[in-house]
Amino acid sequence: MDEFKTSRRYLLQGAAITAAVGFTAPALAQSTTPGATAATPLRNPQGGFPKPPFTEQSQPWPGLASKMNPRPDHGEDSYQGSGQLSGRRALITGGDSGIGRAVAIAFAREGADVAINYLPAEEADAQEVVKLIRDAGRKAVAIPGDLRDPDFCRNLVQQAHTALGGLDILVSNAGRQHSYDSILDIPDEQFDWTVKTNLYAMFWVTKAAVALMPEGSAIVYTASVNAYDPSKNLLDYAMTKAGIANFSKGLAKQLADRGIRVNAVAPGPFWTPLQVSGGQTMEKLKSFGSDTPLKRPGQPAEIAGLYVQLASAKSTYVTGQVFGASGGAGQP
């Protein structure tokens, strides 16, 4: 209670200071603030976004964003860049749809050339992303292939490096998630599939990339809220996400001496093809995100900014961290 009173007092003091500063700010913004743009409208994070109940839908794995109802918002019509990644060269796995697509759009609009990897079955989604990157005036490189193959992982990094003329950002984001109610139902091949995609491929791609990345480069992994709070229907997946979070922290310590930063993002529920192609039970999909304080899933566009921040030179003291975005459901 005391703590509440204290923080409320600080808030009120802060409001008074803001009001005082606000008195002079408009004049400053018009004349001297470098890079100032028009005000962004205030947005209530709970309202005005797609929310449950969602209509029943299911697609064969790996699913297409273009066939989802509603279509996810990857920032196609909204993300505005400000040169934060000018001249950077980025490889994003799973860059065709969902979180990876939102990151690809954001990176390109921030000035980066972008290579994306995806599965051949996702060519239609990938071509939309290629067009969006080119529309932003940046180079787009599309490299389809299956990350469960270690040789492909190594070739992928080489191809991206050659086509982009270097590599200074790696976003290892591709993931496999399949829901099973019981451990008794998880086939050994499924367990292997999940671990190959989420952990082995991450290791193979990272190892190849680190050998090529210059000082100042950044690696960002996609972990999950499941790393801390495993869903009972996602045993194998959740375990790999804990592994990714742990790996990124350890690697950050090791790569500090090479001048490479390593961080991870841990999303909560996001509206992406992963969820409608076997990632959730139909019951969970219909109410997806309803158990968060914001009472809805995130849209991929709402998390891209975290990846930009972690990749950019604004975050030179940020390494070995995991950043959550889960609609208000706490993460450690």
Q: CB under 6 A: which stretch of 1-9, 13-21, 96-104, 313-321 binds ligand NAD?
A: 96-104
Instruction: Give 270 or 323: the residue with its C-beta nearer to ligand NAD.
Output: 270
Beta strands in the chain (DSSP E): 89-93, 113-118, 140-144, 169-172, 218-222, 261-267, 322-325
* Euclidean distance between CA atoms 25 and 38, whole angstroms: 13
194, 197, 217, 292: residue in contact with ligand NAD (rule CB under 6 A): 197
Whether the CB-CB separation of 307 and 106 falls below 8 Å is answered with: yes
* Euclidean distance between CA atoms 83 and 102, whole angstroms: 17
Whether the CB-CB separation of 298 and 304 falls below 8 Å is answered with: no
Instruction: Give 76 or 146: the residue with its C-beta nearer to ligand NAD.
Output: 146
73, 110, 122, 168: residue in contact with Mg ion (rule CB under 5 A): 122
Residues in 150-189 that interact with ligand NAD by CB under 6 A: 173-177
Instruction: Give 75 or 98: the residue with its C-beta nearer to ligand NAD.
Output: 98
96, 128, 236, 302: residue in contact with ligand NAD (rule CB under 6 A): 96
Residues in 8-47 that interact with ligand NAD by CB under 6 A: none
* Euclidean distance between CA atoms 176 and 35, whole angstroms: 40
CA trace torsion 154, 159, 164, 169 (10° rounding): -20
Tell me which of 118, 221, 228, 237 is the catalytic residue. Answer: 237
Q: Is 96 an interacting residue with respect to Mg ion (CB under 5 A)?
A: yes
- CB of residue 140 to ligand NAD, shortest distance in Å: 15
Q: Is 312 an interacting residue with respect to ligand NAD (CB under 6 A)?
A: no
Burial class (CB in 10 A: 0-12, 13-18, 19+), 72: buried
Q: Is 237 a catalytic residue?
A: yes
73, 74, 84, 97: residue in contact with Mg ion (rule CB under 5 A): 97
CA angle 172, 175, 179 (to 5 degrees): 160
Question: What contacts 3, CB < 8 A, 6 or more positions away?
Answer: none
Q: If phi over 0 gives left and psi between -120 and 50 gives alpha, with beta otherwise, what is residue 48?
A: left
Interaction mask 246-285, Mg ion, x per CB under 5 A: ---------------------------x------------
- CB of residue 98 to Mg ion, shortest distance in Å: 6
Token couple for 237: 């997946």
273, 278, 324, 327: residue in contact with ligand NAD (rule CB under 6 A): 273
Q: How many residues of this chain interact with Mg ion, rule: CB under 5 A?
A: 4
Interaction mask 287-316, Mg ion, x per CB under 5 A: ------------------------------
Q: How many CA atoms lie within 13 A of 151 on its CB side?
A: 0
User: Which residue of the chain is nearest ligand NAD when measured via CB?
Assistant: 98
DSSP string, 76-135: TTT----STTTT-EEEEETTTSHHHHHHHHHHHHTT-EEEEEE-GGGHHHHHHHHHHHHH
Q: CB under 6 A: which stretch of 19-27, 32-40, 94-102, 249-257 binds ligand NAD?
A: 94-102
Token couple for 13: 């003091």
Q: Is 128 an interacting residue with respect to Mg ion (CB under 5 A)?
A: no
Cα distance from N-terminal residue to C-terminal residue, the chain: 23
- Please list the active-site residues: 237
List contacts with ligand NAD (CB under 6 A).
62-63, 94, 96-100, 118-119, 122, 146-148, 173-177, 197, 222, 224, 267, 269-270, 272-275
